[in-house]
Chain A
Amino acid sequence: MKLHTISINNLKRRKAKMAFLTIGLMVGIATIVTLVTLTRSMSSDIEKKMDEFGANILVTPQSNGLSMNYGGISLGGVTFDQREIKEEDLAKIRTIKNNKNISAVSPKVLGGVKIGTHDVLLVGVDFAAELKMKQWWQIFGDPPKGDNELLLGSDASNVLNASSGDSVQIKGETFKVAGVLSQTGSQDDSLVFASLPRAQKLLGKEGKITMAEVAALCSGCPIGDMVTQIAEILPDSKVSAIQQVVEGRLKALDQFKRFSYAMAAVVVFIGSLIVFVTMMGSVNERTTEIGVFRAIGFRKSHIMRIILLEAALVSLLAGVLGYLVGMGGAKLALPFMAESKNAHLLWDSTVAFGSIGLALLLGILASLYPALHASKMDPTEALRAL
């Protein structure tokens, strides 16, 4: 016989009350687990989809000019003292503090060339990085594999009257059109894409690049900080963030997150209230029993230990059940809440231990006053018979 024997036997005896108490707390914990897991899973879903939105950091050479284009319509610009970025400098981007958040770096070299009688803008790209970043591209044909293969924008294909499998001449060299992009509605439609080294050679810009796009998209990563970090290691470049799309989505998610936490707080408050009222009722019901304990020499601390141990055991059970039920709820709700149908539920040990810890903390805190009340009971009054 130890103090915990009393607590455990009492819980066994008052099954209905303890089940009510467990369910009350469990609902609170399950709600939190569901909301937190949903929010995290949705964030993760969006993070994974961020690549589809393309780059969000643009690295261009420092210039004193102002570009004059809007929505793809260019009126030219006044630019002087144009510099270019050294290709070798780009590797430094991978060395910034937040390098783990960088998903892809896509360097580009731009220059005008003549194909047949048409002036076109040739863009040299690293196809692997470009295709990773622009997952919405649909290619009729194949992505270019070799140095002598091109990818044409849809408008360029029409103007040049060339489709996949055809050959075109640039500066006397023959290139095969490996694929043609379907209409994107962007500037890509009028471009001719070649491999970066080949384009550099054709444009006489070996070892240089005109710009680089960086995909660094994640809900937690500080785009602003990353821009500063890249600007510090590339002082001759202009680094800017394209944040609207990402931030808009993250903001919506953040609002949902705040709403979730507010709802969780209300549910937790109600859960704590249930624990408090039930424990208080239980203590009052056990007045005589507590009187006997005190009469036979139990200290106040012994009484508190008995009550708090009961609360801890119930809370532990409520925490474990709450976590499991909450994860079940999140699994059911995720397909309706997430944008992507392939969104995965995040099984996070922090949420598991956090929910059990929170249940314990709430259960014990809510039982503290009832336990204190029990420990202060006057044994004579508690027994009444004496």
Chain B
Amino acid sequence: MALIEIRQVKKQYRTGSDVVEALRGIDISIEAGEFITIMGQSGSGKSTLLSVLGGMNHPTSGEVEMAGVNLYQLDSERLADFRAQNLGFVFQSFHLIQYLTALENVMLPLAIVKMTTAAKRESARQALERVGLGTKTDRLPNQLSGGEQERVAIARAIVNSPHILLADEPTGNLDSKTSEEVMALFRQLNDAGQTVVMVTHNPENGAYSDRTISLKDGLVCA
């Protein structure tokens, strides 16, 4: 059985009197351990698909099943719990909390987990070491470069050992050299068994993944 099953997912937005169909019946199946890139032009619906996958955007119709759980049959609080236990997010603009150090940012998903502070600190330190930032744990986000901030964001996404890592344009704000390093890092994580679903508009990023899903006008086209 696939880790993620997306069945006939449609998503409509109402803007004034207009109805915009962002997703028009998506069927996707993703196996555990896969590295998937979702590509498409601006407005193709790829970010909407990622937010639906992340349990944050209720589809207008269709089903999203993840690790055997039908996501949108859960109420919002249980959905939050599901995200905390099974998903890791990497955002395009990193979205690090500016008043927390790198280590504290990585510890953030553990703030709601019952663990000792020492254990949380150790998990966060290990996650930062995995992304190559073991020596910059006490830096604030504004004391880190863009690439380093992205790595902190990745460490935060993997600190709770999620089933699936969801990334939205993770190299969108990085130069080409740093982008390559970040993509290599995602590849490394995937090689270690982490399932990765990444939205990107950069075709070069597709080379790092196992499979590319192309979207056009809210439909899978390849």
Task: Give me the interface of A with B, judged by CB distance under 8 Å.
Answer: 1-3, 5-6, 9-10, 12-13, 288-289, 291-302, 378-380, 383, 385-386
Cα–Cα, bound, A288→B76 (Å): 19
B42 sits at the interface (CB 8 A): no
Q: Which residues of B contact A289 (CB under 8 A)?
A: 95, 97
Q: Is the CB of B104 within 8 A of A5?
A: yes
A383 to chain B, nearest CB (A): 7
Cα–Cα, bound, A137→B104 (Å): 76
Q: Is the CB of B80 within 8 A of A299?
A: yes
Q: Which residue of B lies closest to A296 (CB)?
A: B109
Query: Interface digits, B76-102 against A, CB 8 Å rule (1 contact, 0 not)?
Result: 110011111101010111010111100
B5 sits at the interface (CB 8 A): no
Q: Which segment, of B47-55, B183-191, B213-221, faces chain A?
A: B47-55
- Please tell me which one of the listed residues A295, A299, A378 contacts residue B112 in the complex, with CB atoms under 8 A apart: A299
Given contacts A2-B117, A292-B97, contact A300 B76 (CB under 8 A): yes
B30 sits at the interface (CB 8 A): no
Q: Is the CB of A294 within 8 A of B111?
A: no
A19 to chain B, nearest CB (A): 16
Task: Give me the interface of B with A, judged by CB distance under 8 Å.
Answer: 47, 50-51, 54, 56-57, 76-77, 80-85, 87, 89, 91-93, 95, 97-100, 104, 107-112, 117, 120-121, 124, 156, 168-169
Given contacts A295-B89, A385-B47, A386-B54, contact A13 B98 (CB under 8 A): yes
B124 to chain A, nearest CB (A): 8
Q: Is the CB of B111 within 8 A of A295?
A: no
- Please tell me which one of the listed residues A13, A297, A380 contacts residue B80 in the complex, with CB atoms under 8 A apart: A297
A358 to chain B, nearest CB (A): 30
Q: Is the CB of B99 within 8 A of A13?
A: yes
Q: Is the CB of B111 within 8 A of A385?
A: no
Q: Is the CB of A385 within 8 A of B91?
A: yes
B217 to chain A, nearest CB (A): 19
Q: Which residue of A lies closest to B153 (CB)?
A: A292
Cα–Cα, bound, A1→B50 (Å): 28
Q: Which residue of B lies closest to A294 (CB)?
A: B80
Q: Which residues of A contact B112 (CB under 8 A)?
A: 3, 297-299, 302
B106 to chain A, nearest CB (A): 9
Residue from B51, B87, B92 having most chain A Cβ neighbours under 10 A: B51
Given contacts A2-B111, A5-B111, A386-B47, contact A295 B54 (CB under 8 A): yes
Cα–Cα, bound, A144→B50 (Å): 101
Cα–Cα, bound, A5→B104 (Å): 9
